[in-house]
Each structure stands twice: as structure tokens, then as C-alpha cells.
Chains A and B, each alone.
Chain A
Amino acid sequence: AQSVSQHNHHVILSEAASLELGCNYSYGGTVNLFWYVQYPGQHLQLLLKYFSGDPLVKGIKGFEAEFIKSKFSFNLRKPSVQWSDTAEYFCAVGASGTYKYIFGTGTRLKVLA
């Protein structure tokens, strides 16, 4: 069965620290990969996505992610976090041919000012 794992459930960082959130998936076919963010009191919104081409993708607000096919990973990174990045982050996989998106359990990030 397809699954998505986010190993970091809670992360606390100080402002200006670097961020890397892990995401691993299990699916043998073609995948489309997404990172979503849910700020407190707001709806889920897309940070970035990958479906083909350059495995290093850039998203909004300075976030980027790298697709490593051999490791089935799509880790999210940001060189320097801000207090406003405090949110919950979800990795998701859209498996071609299934019409379903599978979400990870989410990572709660708290950035200390």
C-alpha cells in the first residue's frame, strides 16, 4: 500500500536557524509530490510541488525541496526560518493512476523569536 512518512512530528527552532523536514514515500510507480502548509487558523495551502524535471524545486516564502528518487524522499528545506513560518507542514503524494493523494502525518514547526 502507498504511504507517506514524516519522521519529525514536532520541531522547535530559533529564528534564522536552518530547517529540513523529512518526507519518505512508498510507491513503485510515477509520483507527484507536494508540500502543503497550514498556518494557525488558515486553510492548507501549497508550498511547492514536483512532478517532473529538475528534482530541486523552489516554492513560496523561500522554501525548496529535493526529490531523490533512489531514496524515495522529498525533503523540505529553508536556509533561515522566520517566526512567521510557525505552522504545520504536510507532505503528500499523488500516485499516478490512483486518483488519490496520500498525506503524511504532518510536522508541527514552532519558530522562537
Chain B
Amino acid sequence: DGGITQSPKYLFRKEGQNVTLSCEQNLNHDAMYWYRQDPGQGLRLIYYSQIVNDFQKGDIAEGYSVSREKKESFPLTVTSAQKNPTAFYLCASTRGGMSQPQHFGDGTRLSIL
């Protein structure tokens, strides 16, 4: 069954730590996205990648970093520079072309200890 796998489901971070959220897809999709979901704010775009080894900042990229070394993988690192990292993070992918819908993972909930 094709889909997007995000891990872990829950993640806790201490102040000053970097943490990496995993996102893997076996849909053979070219484009991948990271969103942050906060109550009442919808989904806000952090980073996106159209092809391997290329990615662009979204609307709220500060304090985050990504890599796209493989087509199926798009990990997100939440750095210590992100002052308010507690949120629900969603990874998505699309086949390509803006008329295509996005497929979403189950999300990772990050909390600060």
C-alpha cells in the first residue's frame, strides 16, 4: 500500500536541542512538502522540494532545515533557533503539477520539555 510515513508520532525536545522528523514516501512522487499545523492557523508551509537535491523555503522557514538526498525522503530538522517549536508537523507529497492533490502523512507532534 503506497503512502507517506512520518516518524516518530510523538517527539519531545529539550531546550537547545535539534531534532529531526522523518518523512518517507513510496508513491514515487516528485514533490514533497513540510507544513506546521497550529490550532486556528491552518497549515503553514515550512519547506518544499520539487526534485532531488533542490528545495525552497516556504512562509515560515526560520529555525528549520531540510534535505532531499533521495526522492522518497524529505527529513525536517527543527533547530534550537526555532523559538516556538511546539506544534503538529505534517509532511505531504504530490505527483507533480499544481492540479494534483497532496497526499499527507499522519503527522508528528513535537513538544518541548
| Interface residues, chain A, with chain B CB atoms under 8 Å away | 6, 9, 32, 34, 36, 42-46, 49, 51-52, 90, 92, 94-106
Contact = CB atoms under 8 A, between A and B. Distances in A.
Contact of A43 (B44, B100, B107): B107
A70 B75 CA distance: 40
Contacts of A32: 98-99
Contacts of B41: 105
Given A49-B101, A105-B40, 4 more contacts: A44-B90, A49-B99, A103-B42, A103-B43
Contact of A51 (B43, B92, B99, B107): B99
Given A32-B99, A49-B101, A96-B98, A101 B40 contact: no
B86 interface: no
9 contacts: A32-B99, A43-B90, A43-B105, A45-B104, A96-B98, A99-B56, A101-B102, A103-B42, A103-B43
Given A100-B45, A101-B45, A103-B43, A95 B98 contact: yes
Chief secondary structure at chain B's binding surface:
strand
A105 B42 contact: yes
Interface residues of B, number: 24
Contacts of A51: 99
Given A43-B104, A101-B33, A106 B42 contact: yes
A42 B101 CA distance: 17
A51 B42 CA distance: 22
Given A32-B98, A94-B99, A9 B48 contact: no
B42 A98 contact: no
Contacts of B92: 44
A91 B74 CA distance: 25
Nearest to A1: B59
